[in-house]
Structure 1
Amino acid sequence: MKLELSSFEKALASLDEALAEYDRTQSQFVKDACIQRFEYTYELAHKLLKRQLEAMSPNPSEIDQMSFPDMIRTGAERGLLSQSWDHWKYFRDARNATSHAYNEKKANEVFVRIPAFRDEAAFLLARLQERNAE
């Protein structure tokens, strides 16, 4: 089974574009755009990881019933992720923080996590593209 990756590819490219623009301008407006793009890229990464693990599993319902930490551990064990649960918890906490009312301090805490997430998302995308090519 091949996964449809175009939305994830576009989301990651959009995140890259926003990060590059922030590096150039240091604009608060662009920082906010980076955070928003992080949110939807994170959601797509999570969904596609789950779909790939289900496709690789002899019992897909087993994946569906996994806790998030177990799914991340399984993804790392199967070579889809380069980072462990500790890193993904860091990303998940950042994503959850974006759900609350805007707070500049929280926004800054989230923002500093985005480059590491971007690298992990790019790793996941590359692994998913390799699986699709098989």
Structure 2
Amino acid sequence: MNAQLKIDALGNALKRLEESLAFDLSQPLVVDACIQRFEFSIELTWKMLKKCLAIEGIEVNTPRESIQQAYAIHWLNDESEWLSMLKDRVLTSQTYKDDLALEIYRRLPAHFAAMMALYQLLNTRFIQ
């Protein structure tokens, strides 16, 4: 899949995440839906980063390497925010606890904003 397709796929995933974050938290499925959409958004983000970094001549193999290299070339402003996202992703996939899910859910707006900023940067750089 080329960079444009990966960037487009991420844009669609981020729209879906944004939609889910707009729902009222009192609905029981909202937290689950938001976390699920976050999981596939962060997965698409690191795969898009891998592809875009390869275009720049930088080879990476893991999500952490992708984030570290993107930070090194100033595509990301806050490396710790992105490493926190990876940690949240691992936590959501390994176990499900209501209190942990709610804690991660509360961080999703900041995670969304960071992913959206990266999406916009790479969309401008590689597509337009």
- With the shorter chain as reference, the TM-score category is 0.7 to 0.9
Identity of aligned residues (%): 29
CA offsets 1:61-101 (integer angstroms, 9 cap, x no match): xx235x654432321232322221x2122111110011123
CA distance in 2, matches of 1:37, 1:29: 12
CA radius of gyration, larger in: 1
- Aligned counterpart in structure 1 of residue 121 of structure 2, from 118, 127, 130: 127
**Which amino acid is the alignment partner of residue 96 of structure 2?**
Y
CA distance in 2, matches of 1:15, 1:101: 21
Q: Note the aligned Cα RMSD (angstroms).
A: 1.9
CA offsets 1:28-78 (integer angstroms, 9 cap, x no match): 211110010000001001111111111111xx4xx235x654432321232
Q: TM-score, normalised by structure 2?
A: 0.86
Gaps of 5+ in 1: none
Change (3 A) 1:35 1:122: same
CA distance in 2, matches of 1:15, 1:91: 14
Gaps of 5+ in 2: none
CA distance in 1, matches of 2:60, 2:71: 17
Q: TM-score, normalised by structure 1?
A: 0.82
Does the aligned pair in 1 maintain the 2:67–2:83 contact within 8 Å?
A: no
1:2 positional shift: 4.3
- Aligned pair count reads 126
CA distance in 2, matches of 1:42, 1:21: 20
Change (3 A) 1:106 1:17: same
CA distance in 2, matches of 1:92, 1:125: 17
- Alignment-derived partner of residue 64 in structure 1: 60
Q: Given the alignment of the two structures, is residue 114 of structure 1 paired with residue 108 of structure 2, yes or no? A: yes
- Alignment-derived partner of residue 26 in structure 1: 26
**Which amino acid is the alignment partner of residue 19 of structure 1?**
L
- Aligned counterpart in structure 2 of residue 101 of structure 1, from 68, 81, 95: 95
Q: Given the alignment of the two structures, is residue 80 of structure 1 paired with residue 75 of structure 2, yes or no? A: yes
